[in-house]
Amino acid sequence: MERTVHAPARRAAALCLCLLLLAGCAGPGAAQSRPAETELFAMDTYMHLRAWGPEAEAALAELSAMLQRLDGQLSVTDPGSEIWAVNHADGAPTALSGDAFTLLSRTLDFCAGTRGALDVTLYPVSRAWGFTTGDYRVPDPEELARLLPLVDCSAVTLDADARTVTLPPGAELDLGAAAKGYAGALAAELLARRGVRAAMLDLGSSTICLTGRKPDGSDWRIAVQDPEDPAAYAGVIACGPGSICTSGGYERYFIAEDGAVCWHILDPSTGRPAKAGLLSVTVLCPDALTGDLLSTALFVMGPERAADWWRAHGGFECILIDENRNILVTEGAADRFTPMGAYTHAELTVIGREE
């Protein structure tokens, strides 16, 4: 049996800073459009919020409070959260707030369409690997075989009138693949309500939400991390308003005794780290929740299924980095993505509408 000998779990703080530099300054006239800025720790990550304009300061204060509130509701490890209550209800219906119910309902609908790539009931398995506690280990096959039957999002029952959720005994939810995206979608609504016309919200590097354009009218520039070097970038994307969500094995992983890299994105069909040929997936999508769901799901699907999904559904663009260091870009993002660093000369494959 494998045993864990090494367990690095990296935080995104350093990367955030560099990313902000790339995404950053407003260029000529920047002094007059200095942004309001806030930093906070929520959803297990450092967040950095920037907004421009007269309403910016008040909007960011409201936004920070909202992010902390959502964290308290959706955390899988906080005994005061709604998700904790659901996971400890032992088969009884549990009432949810409007936000938790909406997020769960949208996530379940999405999971159902992914043919097993995304499953919100994966928690018993990811806990066995230690991904939420940091107590990393490789579960043995018997343990996985015992836990896998609990992973079945079709067994979750929602009652929209009573706004309750009921799980089979032993089943547990984990909204980790979607919570930051939902927060980003709510944040975009809040900023629009407040009349903020330019904002860049870094909800922990893997979820970036952009409102409007940079105050000088130019595109935002968002870096994509080199999945094999936390200090480097694989490229930069020029983008307008919307969300940029990235899922990558490098975000949380440990090395098992046999040298296998074990990361936090799992394949629900095996209960093991999803190794479908990708190192990272970056999704550009108007809606941050959809982008967050998609980036995790496409990572599990692998390059061929991801390309098929894009052709069939559309509504987003993506940049895939595969395990051979090739970069695949859907055609709508091809002109906006510039490889850099170790990827400057990487083979860049454009995914077109026709197969």
Quickly list DSSP for 132-180.
Answer: TTS------HHHHHHHGGG--GGG-EEETTTTEEE--TT-----TTTHH
Map the footprint of ligand AMP across residues 147-176, applying CB under 6 A: 174, 176
Residue 94 touches Mg ion, criterion: CB under 5 A: no
The correct pick among 49, 177, 222, 346 for binding ligand AMP (CB under 6 A) is 177
257 vs 238: CA distance, rounded Å: 41
Stretches 154-162, 230-238, 288-296, 322-330: which one binds ligand AMP (CB under 6 A)? 288-296
Q: Return the number of the residue (26 or 224) whose C-beta is nearest ligand AMP.
A: 224
Phi-psi region of 52 (alpha: psi -120 to 50; beta: other; left: phi over 0): beta
Which residue number places its CB atom closest to Mg ion? 296
Q: One symbol per residue from 111 to 150: x for binding ligand AMP (CB under 6 A), - otherwise; what is it?
A: -------xxx-x---x----x-------------------
70 vs 311: CA distance, rounded Å: 33
Stretches 119-127, 174-182, 270-278, 312-320: which one binds Mg ion (CB under 5 A)? 174-182
126 vs 254: CA distance, rounded Å: 13
- By the 8 A CB rule, do 103 and 289 touch? yes
CB of 246 to ligand AMP, least distance (A): 8
CB of 56 to ligand AMP, least distance (A): 27
Which of Mg ion, ligand AMP, none sits in contact with 40, Cβ below 5 to 8 A by type? none
Q: Return the number of the residue (172 or 174) whose C-beta is nearest ligand AMP.
A: 174
Residue 296 touches ligand AMP, criterion: CB under 6 A: yes
Map the footprint of ligand AMP across residues 247-276, applying CB under 6 A: 247, 251, 264-266, 268
Look at the block and give the residue holding tokens 């919307």: 242
163 vs 72: CA distance, rounded Å: 19
Stretches 82-90, 177-185, 230-238, 279-287: which one binds Mg ion (CB under 5 A)? 177-185
Which of ligand AMP, Mg ion, none sits in contact with 118, Cβ below 5 to 8 A by type? ligand AMP
**C-alpha triplet 189, 191, 193: angle, nearest 5°:** 70
A 10 A CB-CB count for 134 gives: 10
Residue 280 touches ligand AMP, criterion: CB under 6 A: no
SS3 assignment, position 236: strand
CB of 293 to ligand AMP, least distance (A): 8
β partners of residue 262: 254
Which residues lie below 8 Å from residue 100, measured CB to CB, with a gap of 6+? Answer: 73, 74, 82, 83
CB of 76 to ligand AMP, least distance (A): 7
Query: What does the chain come to in residues?
Result: 355
Residues binding ligand AMP (CB under 6 A): 118-120, 122, 126, 131, 174, 176-177, 206, 247, 251, 264-266, 268, 292, 295-296, 300
Residues binding Mg ion (CB under 5 A): 177, 292, 295-296
